Amino acid sequence: MPDALHLIRLAHSNPERALNLPGGGLSVLHLSRGQDGGVAACWYVCLEGSLILDLPHGDFVQLRPGESYQAPAGQVRRLTPVRGATVLMIEQH
């Protein structure tokens, strides 16, 4: 049986950089400052802290632990943590 991964600790080990997880299409990221969220279709699941997804046309979504948002392909977004955030990202193909 494979060892369990502690996603929050794993993300904290390399902040500001998405770490790819086994199985493909999954990554975990700890943010302390804003960064580009890309345009690929993706689920964002907040694991810790609070994350604001800045969307086009002045829209935004705020995620707290346990909340998720599905961003469609082609939607430009910026990831902005509120005093730090850890997020699981699931790429959609």
| pTM of the model as a whole | 0.92
Q: How confident is the model at residue 93 (pLDDT cuts 50, 70, 90)?
A: confident
Average pLDDT score over residue span 45-65: 96
**What's the confidence (pLDDT) of residue 75?**
93
Hunting for tokens 């346990």 — which residue is that? Answer: 66
Q: Return the C-alpha torsion angle 55, 60, 63, 68, nearest 10.
A: -50
